[in-house]
Amino acid sequence: MAGKTQMTITFLGTGTSTGVPVVACNCEVCRSTDEHDTRLRTSVMVDVDGQKFIIDCGPDFRYQMIREKVEDISAIIFTHGHRDHIAGIDDVRAFNYVLNKTVDIYASQEVINSINKEFPYILTEKRFFGAPQLNFNVIENKTFAINGINIQPVEVMHHKLSVFGFRIGGFTYITDASYISETEKPKAIGSDILVINALRKSKHISHFSLEEALELIKELKPGRAYITHLSHFIGLHKDIQESLPPNVFLAFDGLKLEL
């Protein structure tokens, strides 16, 4: 009988598009000396039986890989095409050079179009010398597999933009969401670990607020929930954590979870 799958989840970054601290901001969060209040742009690494899947590679991707001492990755999976989620793709070149390998990319056609617009030297008929070597795989809202690992997209809305969350076994990861349809919610119900975004305490047009995220967590009933894509408006980590239910936690950069 096959052994149980081992999964390690590493939060590479847990901040919003500006990161925290925010440039030129002197609020108490941006001045905090608590390392939990320092947040790079949102990304996560999921290690399944030694295969490392990166979900989104934003502008902090290079540093995140160095900090976590990552020497190889199996694939990068994209949620959507905003710059804070794709801007680090040029730094994938290091894996090309050091390992002499092409890196697999899994993304919707819309995200691939965004990458082509932002990095026009990557997707060209005649290869531009020094461009990252990537193998693009188009995904839709249906289960796909990478090296035998099944990954189920969960379609959410980021205001008017369709974004993919992903479920891998008992782990569900949803970022940059302001709405999840009743059709998509069942995909996330009963996760052992649910990661959900909450930008700030007050309502926002394209992200869940903290209150909205907590209501959704109640509905989806995960074993544990972690909140990510946090701005400096959320408040100090220690203050917010003390106010949360026992099975809900603020994620922070470098946090590792075992499943």
Helix, strand, coil percentages for the chain (3-state, nearest 5): 25, 30, 45
**Cα(134)–Cα(138) distance, rounded to whole angstroms?**
13
Residue 2: pLDDT over 60 = no
> Which tokens is 258 given?
């075992």
Q: State the pLDDT confidence band at 178, using cuts at 50, 70 and 90.
A: very high
Residue 249: pLDDT over 70 = yes
pLDDT > 90: what percent of the chain?
95
Q: Could you tell me the CATH superfamily of domain 7-258?
A: Ribonuclease Z/Hydroxyacylglutathione hydrolase-like (3.60.15.10)
Residue 1: pLDDT over 60 = no
Q: What would the mean pLDDT of 174-196 be, rounded to a whole number?
A: 98
Q: How remote is the C-alpha of 241 from its chain's centroid?
A: 21
The whole-chain average pLDDT of the chain stands at 96
pTM for this prediction: 0.97
pLDDT > 70: what percent of the chain?
99
Hey, how many other C-beta atoms are within 10 angstroms of the C-beta on 56? 28
> Which tokens is 170 given?
């008992």
**Cα(242)–Cα(251) distance, rounded to whole angstroms?**
13
Residue 239: pLDDT over 90 = yes
Q: Letter for the amino acid at 143?
A: T
**Cα(141)–Cα(247) distance, rounded to whole angstroms?**
29
Q: What is the pLDDT of residue 129?
A: 76
Whether 70 and 52 have beta carbons less than 8 Å apart is answered as yes
Query: Do you find a cis peptide bond into 21, omega within 30 degrees of 0?
Result: yes
Note the helical H segments in the chain. Answer: 61-67, 83-86, 93-99, 109-118, 210-220, 237-243
Q: What would the mean pLDDT of 103-124 be, rounded to a whole number?
A: 95
Residue 4: pLDDT over 90 = no
Q: Which residues contact 106 (CB under 8 A, 6 or more apart)?
A: 75, 76, 77, 78, 137, 139, 144, 146, 151
Whether 146 and 106 have beta carbons less than 8 Å apart is answered as yes
> Which tokens is 40 given?
């790079």
Q: State the pLDDT confidence band at 3, using cuts at 50, 70 and 90.
A: low
Hey, how many other C-beta atoms are within 10 angstroms of the C-beta on 59? 18
Q: What is the pLDDT of residues 120-150, one digit of tens each?
A: 999 887 777 789 999 999 999 999 999 999 9
Q: What is the pLDDT of residues 39-67, one digit of tens each?
A: 999 999 999 999 999 999 999 999 999 99
**Cα(160)–Cα(205) distance, rounded to whole angstroms?**
10
> Domain limits of the chain?
7-258
In degrees, rounded to 5, the angle at the alpha carbon of residue 82 between the alpha carbons of residues 77 and 87 is 70
Report phi then psi at 89, rounded to 5. -65, -25
Helix (H, G, I), strand (E, B) or coil at 205: coil
Q: Which residues contact 36 (CB under 8 A, 6 or more apart)?
A: 237, 238, 250, 252
Q: What is the pLDDT of residues 57-93, one digit of tens each?
A: 999 999 999 999 999 999 999 999 999 999 999 999 9
